[in-house]
Structure 1
Amino acid sequence: MRWLFFTAFFMMAAAGFVTAQISQGGQPMKVPPLKSRGIPIQVMPEFNHIELQQKTLESLQTEPALKPFRFAVGFDVAISPEKDGLWTSNLNGYDVWQVKIRSEGAFSISLVFQEFHLPPGARLFIFNEIENHFLGAFTQANNKNFRKLAIAPVAGDEVVVQYEIPAGRDHRNDFIIKEVFHDYIGILKTSERRPMGKTAGSCNIDINCSEGDEWQNEKDAVIRIITTKKVTNRTYREICSGTLINNTAEDQKPYIITAAHCIEKNEFAEESVFTFNYESPYCAPLDGDPANTISGSELKAISDSLDFALVELSLVPPPEFRPYYAGWDKRTVYPDSTVSIHHPQGDIKKIAYDSDSPVYSDFANGYTPNGFLKVLRWEAGVTENGSSGGPLFSPGKNLIGTLTGGSATCSNPVNDYFSRFDMAWEFRADSTRQLKYWLDPLNAGKETLNGKRFYTDENLCLAYTHLEEFDEHQNVILRNQGQFAGYWGGSNSEGITEFSER
């Protein structure tokens, strides 16, 4: 038996798509120890961790219909380089601003910036040195017309925000940190994670198991979404699933279709984070790397009663994200079987399949009558919280619905409901409440459209691994001068991204 000490190899194409990524890489400057002491700390209000976990668990038990996955609570703040933190002047030609943000007991912290507009030469990092988790550099390439930037979670209960600008420039109004999110679940933990219980249920099937062999294109269309939810006077972060979808112009317009209860308005679309390729490299519960992210989108169409939302990403996914634009089928016919690919519990990508036809069905009061496809019973796999918005595919591998919710669990995998794509197409005449206007810009009148992978030949990036089903495996820690620096074959802070074999 072979022991393989890596998680995955990637065949990466060299291409100039740096600006399309959420961050540009690199490391924050080292501020001399004497000057780094006393960095002001912004401390978030305390709250009852256990009570919030329990309330979340109770809501899952008492409101099982919808299937987003809630994992963080937000605090409204207004932290800026103008009035907070500490400036260090002329450090190797840069003025450096730092502030620490602490939320006691958080498993991770994520931030949302507003009025975000960085000048040329500026770099922004968010990191936790103890956890060896760094995000950035964020640069002017991350500027958006809606002037926001949402970042993915950083491990630990304290982060440093470090802003570096060429010395002598007055750019103290380049952003405001508007929201701090405290992860009370443990969304990043790969061991002892999810203190409320386990990750995706044991009946779920990794997408790279044999059941997913015929769905290797479609899996690259399915993404994990971190989005915002407001309930009374509190703001939360939730996880849903979504699908990158093709249109008749086939122009790589990066539309994502998901559930309306996942992205309820444009403000939340702007603050969402979209993760590609979060999956195990093969058929085993190895944690994936959630680094392939794009921040922000614009809401194009939404229907509460049909529970669908269509957004356009702020950037076109680059080749290394392996984007596949899923096809669709708007015919009103029953397929004889269906497949769903999704992120249950916000976990690595899974697949479920039903060998029977779905049926037209109502969902609940307030939703369009007969507006849903009901999967009566999954043959294998299941959906869970975090699967909301995930696609339902026909045997022709075209999208025919998006998950709203249901009661299916590993112990009783019955009755899941998917919003009907054919009804969402043009059930409403208003372009902001239908799909046709956006997905058929040529007015071609097509009833079906195949999926497409636009990057080909030298620009095509695909995942590759030598791991086999019966190999034993482990993540091997990489150290620098005795300090944890990540993993060989996975995420690390040493800049190691490629490997060779003998």
Structure 2
Amino acid sequence: MGVRPEEFPKRLAPGSWEVLLRDLGAWGKTALAVLALSGLLCFAVESMGKESVFLPPLKPEQLERYRPPSPGEPLVFAVPNYVSLTPWNSGSWQDLGNLRVWSLRIRAPGALSLSFGFGKFRLPPGGSLLVRNPEQGILLGPFTDKDNSYHGQLWTPVLPGSSADLELRIPRDATNHVELELTSLNQGFRPLPQEVKTPSREPLLLGMTAVPGDCNVDVVCPEAGFWEQEIRSVGLLTVRGRAICSGTLLNNTSQDLSPYFLTANHCGIAPENAQSVVVYWNYQKSRCRGVQDGSLSQSTQGSFFRAGWSAQEGSDFTLLELATRPQPAFFPHWAGWDRRSLLPRGAVAIHHPQGAEKSISFDEDQLSLASASDGLGVGDPEIYLKVGAWDLGTTEPGSSGCGLWNMEHKLVGQLWGGTASCGFPQGSDYFGSLWASWEGGGTPSTRLREHLDPLGTNQETMEGRDWCVPPQVEFFVSPNPAALGEEVVFTSQVTSGVPPYRYSWDLNGDGLQDCDSPDCVFSYSYPFEGNVRLLVEDSQPCPAVVTGGMTVVDPEQGVRLVSPAEGDIVPSGSRFLVRWLAPRSAVRFKLLYSTDKGRRWRLLTDQATGSQYEWEVPIPAQNRTRSVFKIIGYDSQGNKVGSDRSEGFFSIGVIQLTTLKGGETLQSGEPYPISWITYQTIRPVQSVKILFSSNNKLTWQRLEKVTGNPGSIVVSIPPVNKKKPNCWLKVILLDSKGMPVGADTTEEPFTVLP
């Protein structure tokens, strides 16, 4: 971010947290409003067959031990807790007519919001997932097979409050076709504006509010009247349910309403986490300078990373393609752009300061280019447009990535950072220029050209366009599930729009067209569990896309194990639902498991029937990370029909680290919270020991030893004299005699800087 090193304090004095928060605005747009703490998570079993997840609240004294925010980071409002919760290892099941219903309760006393990242998400037709706040009656969903995506994940919008109930409803005969794993449970510690107005909710820390400065101009004020279209192109985005930025929906030369979304590269979006992006639309006040009454109810989930160019190398841009277009009811606008290297004679920025309702800022002076004297610390400051000072409004943390428009209503850049704020109106802001981003780093993944000009027109400017009124589309599949080689009939139903219509079916999830007629007949020559996608475009042209789940099974394939699967964490002492698929001739099954890569097998049962079995998981003396499962099916005469075993290893977990998963970069000498889940242990836990290695696990040193099993602890990262890229951390549970009863280590190495 555009802040000089001398503007940052060298250390945070005791009791100065309020001062730190007050000064954030002067530190720039991308400062963390509070520390991105790793969450402190514990796990409790309330009663047999019913499990609840509890997140203890963070305490002010824990946060005061942390460093000030670093430059080049987005505004953070929640802490991630890395978990592995599935319908097969947590929660409870019940039967409801032809449905099976799974539920899981989550409680986080003191949390201001919760959001959920499902690293695996695929529902069969007829299935639905609801996320509900039982205290306030707020509901997310239902999420159905229409929310299945090519990337196989689902990240929910933010749910205000400290409680959530998850409810999954599945047709009884489709239970084995569910893929659902909650991998990130995000605990809000910084209130979003929508939450601040609730009288009963208080910030976790004094002074930690999301109220923007009073010099900001609401987009519903008269000053913004001529920018109504551009305002509708701007969205508030969250990444991994914890970080906030602003961004803009952009048009392209084909004008096909591809949902390209431009934001800042320092917001931390990459190919591996782009699916976690949630964009909120029309989040703005109802009255100029009125109360904070904006709604977060309009959102799109998921995206694909298309291109990016970092501030260290270039213009700090990231271009996403959203997984779905914003709904027509959101009245979105695809903004126009200007890639010419001209200095605008005045400019406008539209953004979400502090992650609050949308604001607009005006500069009536000609912009300039940044230079080395600005001390930005970027690779090439001369490709950044400089707003010397705003004449009306400002920008704040949360504004990062917002668009900058010239007086011709064309976007010319996106916000990198700066020092402007209501308390420092003479501060400058810096925007990565669109003209530099156009050619970027010289490849399609580091430039805008191929994406915003797919037709190769070489045009230098592009007008914006509004969302058209698309046709209403549904399709029906019969049969579903289908057998291998069986003819499957796909029937579309299209209403409204302007005929004639163009049809494009993707029937196997490969992104290619398989059929171009209103109705299709297709036979699968291979097993398939995925989504069918139908694109219908009317004569305007205005497109509509609808998706739905499809399952094709091979009745002669034999026995197939569904769970436990590779990478699953099966809690020790729990009741885990083993699932499989099998031909009708298989009526009895033998189940075996091994905790040593399959060298020795233990019989679970040889009398299992149906397609599921509730396994009372053993309690080992330590994590068993090389476990495998085997199933053998027999017909009514006792003849073997088929067998299968897990393709990779799963874990029988006694303890699971939920923070410091690997890949992080930490500063030596600074405190860091470590948290873990303890499942059932072979003997009671009397103490916990934390070990650290800086030489790739060759040697270990003790960081802490605590009495009891608190589930979390703040440790001080040991000092190092040079960068250490192969650091590891281990948590060991000890019994009354000091003997280990469980241990877990970070999954990958992390880096410690001197």
TM-score norm. by structure 1 comes to 0.78
Q: Is the 8 A contact 1:324 1:454 kept in 2?
A: yes
**AA paired with 2:80?**
G
The counterpart of 2:59, out of the listed 44, 49, 54, is 49
Q: Deviations over 1:107-151 (max 9, x none)?
A: 111010022100000010011111211101000000001100000
Retained in 1: the 8 A contact 2:239–2:269? no
Question: C-alpha deviations, 1:459-485, integer Å up to 9, x for none?
Answer: 99xxxxxxxxxxxxxxxxxxxxxxxxx
How far does residue 197 in structure 1 lie from its aligned partner after superposition? 3.3
Q: Distance in 1 between matches of 2:61 and 2:128?
A: 39
Which structure's CA Rg is the greater one? 2
Which residue of the partner structure matches residue 317 of structure 1?
326
Which residue matches 2:258? 253
Q: CA deviation at 1:289?
A: 1.1
Superposed counterparts of 1:11-160, under 5 Å: 39-44=50-55, 46=56, 48-51=58-61, 59-60=68-69, 63=70, 66=72, 68-89=74-95, 91-160=96-165
- Equivalent position amino acid for 1:43 in 2: F
Compared CA separation, residues 38 and 206, structure 1 to 2 (3 A): farther
Describe the superposition over 1:59-82 as per-residue Cα deviations: whole angstroms up to 9, x where unpaired: 35xx4x547321000010000011
Deviation at 1:285, TM superposition (A): 3.0
Partner of 1:26: none
Distance 1:282 1:119, change over 3 A: same
Partner residue in 2 for 1:343: 352
CA pair 373-177 structure 1, distance change in 2 beyond 3 A: same
Distance 1:118 1:67, change over 3 A: same
User: In angstroms, what is the RMSD of aligned CA positions?
Assistant: 2.3
Is the alpha carbon distance of 1:54 and 1:329 closer, same or farther for their aligned partners in structure 2, counting shifts above 3 Å?
farther
Number of aligned positions between the proteins: 412
Alignment partners' CA distance in 1, 2:171 and 2:445: 43
Three-state SS of the structure 2 residue aligned to 1:370 is helix
**TM alignment of 1:348-387, pairs within 5 A:** 348-362=357-371, 364-387=376-399
Maintained 8 Å contact 1:53/1:184:
no
**Structure number with higher relative contact order (C-alpha < 8 Å, ≥ 6 residues apart):** 1
| Structure 2 match to 1:481 | none
The one-letter amino acid of 1:272's match is V
Counterpart of 1:446 in structure 2 is 459
* 1:278-311 Cα deviation digits (max 9, x unpaired): 1112312342111111110000000113210000
Matched-pair contact (CA < 8 Å) for 1:308–1:419: yes
In structure 2, do the counterparts of structure 1 residues 369 and 125 end up closer, same or farther at CA, with 3 Å as the change threshold? Answer: same
* 1:308–1:424 contact (8 Å) kept in structure 2: yes
Amino acid in the other structure paired with 2:180: F
Q: Which amino acid aligns with 1:200?
A: P
Q: What residue in structure 2 maps to residue 474 of structure 1? A: none
Alpha-carbon distance in structure 1 between the residues aligned to 2:210 and 2:181: 36
CA contact (8 A) 2:73 2:267 kept: no
Measure, in 1, the Cα distance between the counterparts of 2:134 and 2:166: 11
CA distance in 2, matches of 1:217, 1:373: 23
- Is the counterpart of residue 419 in structure 1 residue 444 in structure 2? no
Q: 1:350 to 1:37 in 2, by over 3 A?
A: farther
CA contact (8 A) 1:206 1:285 kept: no
Return the alpha-carbon distance in structure 2 between the equivalents of residues 423 and 440 of structure 1. 15
Alignment counterpart, residue 209 of structure 2, candidates 164, 187, 197: 197
Structure 2 residue aligned with 1:237: 242
Q: Distance in 2 between matches of 1:70 and 1:37?
A: 37
Q: Is the 8 A contact 1:112 1:150 kept in 2?
A: yes
Deviates more, 1:416-425 or 1:99-108: 99-108
Q: Is the 8 A contact 2:210 2:355 kept in 1?
A: no
Gaps of 5+ in 1: 1-35, 229-235, 461-502
Aligned counterpart, 1:395: 407
8 Å CA contact 2:260, 2:319 repeated in 1:
yes
Q: Does 2:339 align with 1:330?
A: yes
The CA deviation at 1:83 is 1.6
TM-score, length-scaled by structure 2: 0.52
Query: Which residues in structure 2 correspond to 1:142-291 (within 5 Å)?
Result: 142-171=147-176, 173-187=178-192, 188-191=194-197, 196-228=208-240, 237-283=242-288, 284-291=290-297
Counterpart position of 2:300: 294
Q: What displacement does 1:167 show?
A: 2.8
* Residue type of the alignment partner of 2:215: C
1:51 Cα deviation from its structure 2 partner: 4.5
| Offset, 1:105 | 1.6
Work out the CA distance in 2 between the residues paired with 1:264 and 1:184. 21
Report the Cα distance in structure 1 between the residues aligned to 2:446 and 2:62, rounded to whole angstroms.
35
| Contact 2:190/2:210 (8 A) holds in 1 | no
8 Å contact kept, 1:335–1:358 = yes
Query: Which residue of 1 is the match for residue 421 of structure 2?
Result: 409
Q: How much has 1:153 moved relative to structure 2?
A: 1.5
Structure 2 spans left out of the alignment, 5+ residues: 1-46, 473-495, 497-754
Contact 1:81-1:172 at 8 Å conserved across structures = no
**Structure 1 stretches of at least 4 aligned residues deviating more than 4 Å after TM superposition:** 51-56, 192-195, 456-460
Aligned-residue sequence identity (percent) comes to 33
Q: Once structures 1 and 2 are overlaid, which stretch shifts more, 395-404 or 185-194? A: 185-194
